[in-house]
Amino acid sequence: MTPPRRRGAQGGRGRGPGLREPHSPRTPPSPPLRPSPAREVAVTVLERVEADASFADIALEAELGARRLEARDAALATELLFGTLRWQRYLDWVLAPHSRRRLESLDPRVRVILRMTAYQIAFLERVPAFAAVNDAVTLAPRTPGVSAFVNAVLRSFSRRGAREREPAPPRDPNDALATRCSFPTWLVERWVARYGREDAEALMRALNERPPLTLRTNTLRITRDALAARLAAEEGLAGRSTRLAPEGLVVGPGGAPGEWRAFADGSFAVQDEASMLVARLLAPAPGTTVADVCAAPGTKTTHVAALMENRGRVLAFDREPARLARVGEAAARLGITIIEARHGPVEALAPAFRAACDGVLVDAPCSNLGVLRRNPEVKWRRQPSDLGLASRRQLEIVAAAATMVRPGGRLVYATCSLEPEENEQVVGTFLAAHPDFKTDPPDEFPLPLDPDGWLRCLPHRLGTDGFTAVRFRRS
């Protein structure tokens, strides 16, 4: 497998290590007293992810909010953070020959500094190697000898050509593929067995892509074409319509959407195209009663309400009060008034709404293995045993949610996972215990469903996040 070329820090498709000889590191005449703010932010967040198991997107949002970086620096910090996390295993592999110590034995800050700098040298064509190395040394802990160690490892790595930087791959084919594509071996083994080697590699490459910025037009306030024209005029953003979701718009690059005037006045929500298809599968009608039993942070809940033209009743359940509060905030910003937020697990809340809903959405908590391009740290935290634990909880949720569906009503079960334990196995067990529910695929839908009625959004085929969903009707 030939690794792809390096790319610029602000664009291109990051598919793998570069083939060009990187810039040779040079010592600038006057080393900066402080590293670039982008690298400082990226290292800070990477260390939190590594040492404290923080979520990368949440930690980055907090750090950028506290520091108020320029748009260019914020974009670079984002690229360094997520690029390093996506390619973590590959970076450890190519760094290992240049370090006299095993990377896993290093202090977390030293380890993430080495990875982040190697990512810049191997992947980011526009970043001079000397700048990346010098900032790495500046960011290193002041413990005696640490700065010298970081400097030696990275200068050794920088001097090697792309071919020399790659050690011999592991002998096991799946282990070698996992190393080059930067995924856990156990996940590669599953995907190769399920999809075949070629498709499995394509899936991993797609999940290592920088995801597009996709917006869901708030059709209660504006049309998609009008939103595109407004963003072009106000923010200088080019936009293109999504292929499958009629309210979707892909835009960028252009900074943080939360700072745009069109966001403040509720003209759009940030949502991936695959996620938009879930509410459309439920197909809620205006004037009906619908429940979203795992509602926070409210992205799909507000989409359901918009499809209902803000007429009817939407029940929004979530067991985490802080996250549930975000549902109300999103609804207020979007001008939605029909959502009723209720705190608590669905098992506790469902009895009060027995057979009261025309439609119920179960966007089940899951492994998140379908959205790794947005949350790459997840692939380093999941274990095979997590899938079985998740499936048991998912079955409890969907069974409780089913009691809320009236005869003739619909139930949609969805996950941002591609794994059978969290999808087919949960649904099979549910249907065996609930003979009054049958699969109910729509007659028309933006993309073909499986013969058995499943919606499957595969990143390498559709360019979306990975989602799986199915619709039932109660007899």
Q: Which residues are catalytic?
A: 416
Query: Whole-angstrom Cα distance, residue 407 to residue 373?
Result: 39
Query: Whole-angstrom Cα distance, residue 359 to residue 224?
Result: 26
Helices (H) and strands (E) counted in the chain, each on its own, are 20, 12
Q: Which DSSP string corresponds to 163-211?
A: HHHS-PPPSSHHHHHHHHHT--HHHHHHHHHHH-HHHHHHHHHHHTSPP
If DSSP codes are grouped into helix, strand and coil, which group holds residue 62? Answer: helix
**What burial letters (b/e) apply to 433-462, b meaning 16+ CB within 10 Å?**
ebeebeeebeeeebeebeeebbbbbbbbeb
The answer to whether 300 and 279 are in contact (CB under 8 A) is yes
Quick one: tokens of 440? Answer: 């109910």
Name the DSSP class of 248.
E
Q: Helices marked H in 267-310 — which ranges?
A: 273-282, 299-307
Q: Which DSSP string corresponds to 344-389?
A: S-HHHHGGGGTT-EEEEEEE-----TT-TTT-GGGGGT--HHHHHH
Name the DSSP class of 294.
T
Report which of 194, 166, 195, 160 is spatially closest to residue 182, judged by C-alpha positions.
166
Could you tell me the CA-to-CA distances from 265 to 53, 86, 107, 257 in Å, in that order? 34, 34, 45, 12
Query: Whole-angstrom Cα distance, residue 33 to residue 230?
Result: 42
Query: Whole-angstrom Cα distance, residue 252 to residue 236?
Result: 9
Query: Whole-angstrom Cα distance, residue 253 to residue 213?
Result: 8
Quick one: tokens of 424? Answer: 């087919």
Query: Whole-angstrom Cα distance, residue 33 to residue 408?
Result: 69
